[in-house]
Amino acid sequence: MAIIKPFQALRPKQELADKVASRPYDVLNSSEAKEEAKGNPYSFLHITKAEIDLPEGTDIHSQAVYDQAGHNLMDFQHKGIIFAESKPCYYIYRLIMDGRSQTGLVCVSSVQDYFDDVIKKHEFTRPEKEKDRIDHMKTIRAQTGNVFLAYNNVTEIDTIVNNWKAQNAPAYDFRAEDGIQHTLWVVSDDRAVADITKIFAEKVPATYIADGHHRAASAAKVSKEIRNSTDAGYFLTTIFPASELAIMDYNRVVKDLNGYTTKDFIAALQDDFMITSSPEAVKPAHQHEFGMYLDNQWYILTCRKDTYTTDPIGVLDVTILSNNVLDKLLAIKDQRTDKRIDFVGGIRGLGELEKRVNSGEMKVAFSLYPVTIQQLFDIADSGNVMPPKSTWFEPKLRDGLLTHSI
């Protein structure tokens, strides 16, 4: 069963919350982070992307960057920009994007649950990305990046969360520059805190990493190195009930056709797909349907039934595309390392696929139907992993609203 705890968050003064809150460190490069934080000394990017305060060209993985992050975190506390909660609390975090709302519980989850597979994974991690967060955490002695978990709904938890939202004023409530509304409540009542902890321990057999595999893996490894800290045995998570979540498509663009002409490539595709041209951009309407953009033309690709298996991995559209197109025809064997392929989150729209191809940077684009939450759960339960870049979640949690000291 899932072990979670309340914690004493470092969080911003109410009037500064919208200025402190920043987009996650891993969705911005250094120049984008510097531009986004320009003129805002309160931006949490000064902590998560501290290279923005160092000379141009500084190695972003150097100790100087992590030292600067630690200095900036201490400075934020000394100036009263952020403060430590007076007691361990849970936090309720609601995001609203395009009229759709999702609400999760912010807590710290047990590292031992991560090792014991109570917290289930569906992706491989990359050592270099882990090391970056390990060095960041160890230097600043805090977890700034939230791990996004999901679980099957439990009525009692839903009731507590909904009642608390209805009966209490939020600590923060603001609309970010991208139009997403962020609202956060502090659950400080000892009875409510105890009830939440107990219900998770009794009724939630597993949680699932939706987004943040590298942050989770890094926190787990840090816990083995910082043995004198009880707090390091837990890591910062926001846990969402499955009914609140929606996964967006995660599309692919490829630089070349591996020697095929357009005509020959389409002919080769017909072994595994039925193909029709489309006068407009193709957003797949159902599973096993794909869009393809090639030479200023959109196509609908519908896979033939004998092209896939029905096991949890084989039935995924990302697997079907990988096996029957990327590997078989385009010779892309490892999507994590092959430089000929790139990935475009569905939040960017189909226009981004057209743009990448029309510019000449890429030759062909594929739009996919999104993976479902249940598929994610099924794969994690089976002990398998998804192909790289299978899921894209929006809206994303902001860094800086809640930080876990270790």
Read off the pLDDT of residues 165-216 as tens digits, 9 standing for 90 and up. Answer: 999 999 999 999 999 999 999 999 999 999 999 999 999 999 999 888 899 9
Tokens 């999901």 label which residue?
A: 150
Residue type for position 59: D
Residue 228 has pLDDT above 80, yes or no: no
What is d(CA 327, CA 80) in angstroms, rounded to the nearest whole number? Answer: 54
CA distance 224 to 241: 30
Task: Tell me the pLDDT band of 385, cut-offs 50, 70 and 90.
Answer: confident
Average pLDDT over residues 204-232: 89
- For 108-132, what is the mean pLDDT? 91
**Is the pLDDT confidence value at 337 over 90?**
no
Phi, psi of 332, deg, nearest 5: -95, 105
Measure CA of the first residue to CA of the last residue in the chain; give whole Å: 24
- Residue 211's pLDDT is 87
Mean pLDDT of 113-131: 89
What 3-state class would DSSP assign to 405? strand
The lowest-confidence range among 25-29, 216-220, 361-365, 397-401 is 25-29
Gap between the Cα atoms of 353 and 368, Å rounded:
12
Nearest to 394 by CA among 250, 241, 207, 284: 250
Looking at every residue in the chain, the average pLDDT score rounds to 94
Q: What is the DSSP string of 240-296?
A: EEGGG--EEPEEEEES--TT--HHHHHHHHTTTEEEEEESS-----STTEEEEEETT
DSSP E strand boundaries for 330-393: 341-345, 364-367, 392-393
Please report, for residues 56, 140, 194, 285, 378, the alpha-carbon distance to residue 352 in angstroms, rounded to integers and kept in the order given: 29, 37, 47, 19, 31
Largest separation between any pair of C-alpha atoms in the chain: 68
The DSSP symbol for 176 reads -
pLDDT (0 to 100) of residue 394: 84
Mean pLDDT of 66-93: 97
Query: Which token pair is 391?
Result: 């899921």
Q: Which residue's structure tokens are 């209490």?
A: 168
The H or E element spanning position 95 is: strand 90-97
CA distance 59 to 208: 34
H helical segments located in 25-90: 30-37, 45-48, 63-78
Residue 353 has pLDDT above 80, yes or no: yes
> Helix/strand/coil (H, E, C) string of 295-316?
CCEEEEEEECHHHCCCCCCCCC
Residue 86: is it exposed, middle or buried by C-beta count within 10 angstroms (0-12/13-18/19+)? Answer: exposed
Q: Looking at residue 123, what DSSP letter applies?
A: S
Looking at domain 250-369, does it have CATH number 3.30.1760? Answer: yes
Inter-axis angle of helices 127-140 and 213-225, nearest 10: 50
Query: CB under 8 Å to 323, separation ≥6 — which residues?
Result: 307, 308
Report pLDDT for 232: 86
- Outline which parts of the chain fall under CATH 3.30.1760: 250-369
Question: Cα–Cα distance between 134 and 34 in angstroms, integer?
Answer: 22
The number of residues in the chain equals 406
The predicted model scores a pTM of 0.86
